[in-house]
Chain A
Amino acid sequence: MAEFVTVAGVDDIEEGELRAFDVRDARIAVANVAGAFHAFDDTCTHRQCSLAAGDLEDTTVICPCHGSEFDVTSGAVLQGPAREAVETYETRLEEDSLEIKV
């Protein structure tokens, strides 16, 4: 059963920034897009680079290794070489804590 897990404080990820967290057995990246948090698998589906080490432009995360682009809100591929979407996770704020449903 998936449940919400606290991963960080709300102030730990600045606007326009990315961070990755180990949550249970998963490595999950979180993007702060204008104050809204979007969580997705940190591992690029192309060659397994960390997406949190890449760049965030609006709601697009760009893989630092080969330039694959994903929509952080849906996980969809916007630009190859990746073909497969990344998994996304529900997030919520509980007081000052950021929680991810895993």
Chain B
Amino acid sequence: MSLASQDMATTGGGAEDEQAPPLLEARNISKYYGSVIALKDVSLQVHAGEVTCVLGDNGAGKSSLIKILAGVFPPDAGELLLSGQPIHFSGPRSARSHGIATVFQDLATIPLMPVWRNFFLGQEPTSGIGPLRWLSVRHALGVMREELLKMGIDVRDPNQIVGTLSGGERQAVAIARAVYFGAKVLILDEPTSALGVRQSGIVLRYVVQARNLGRGVILVTHNPHHAYPVGDRFVILQRGRLMGSYLKDEISIEELTRLMAGGEELAQLSHELQRLGADQPELLEVAATFAAEADDGALET
């Protein structure tokens, strides 16, 4: 946290608070699609050097929340604050220029392009004069290797096509890219949802790396087992409403899981599992998934 306050001291203009304001804060955000309430009075904060986890089942309003934070559309009510100052994003580009980078699950990298081209896409380093400019490939390769090494990724062949990387590595490239291009706040949309256990572990390690580099990270996930080990704050959404907002020492992983899945169903399921004589923790996770699915089905009808 000392890192966070240092960071804020340089950027913060409003020193009226005793504490540094969060890098990004959403206050009582609401979003409606016609008569459907996607989000209602949702608040969240992310500080420098912290991971804020947004948890919720499918349809909980996670993606609406991310899109608001990423500047895709404005909230219908409530406000966004950037380092304590109210801010309005006119679009994703505006959010990005304010240091908010979003890594979307499937839209993070372009599979057929080499790693280095992906890394610099949209912000290519060039040399040359006036309109006659060319890519400084050598510089780009050097920077990329260095940045990826900082995240603990060793790319042996920068010309390797991203599609041949593993899912975790692809997310890592996208995260490293956002960190390098000066993102103060990283929004990661379900970075582990399509990954196996091992790959998820790799991605979560990069989340921690980004946090250690002093960035604020918003990790969106429906898996409490991925969120709990890396998170500092937990925001739980259910059906567009804030179910709760906790600091890490205020909540246990069991409680987090229970809150997320909706207590009753899980209680029922764990009952059944106990009856089946399940003592493995893996089965508990299965139970959580089932509970989540049951909840999802109830939402749709």
Pairing of A with B: no
Residues of B within 8 A of A (CB): none
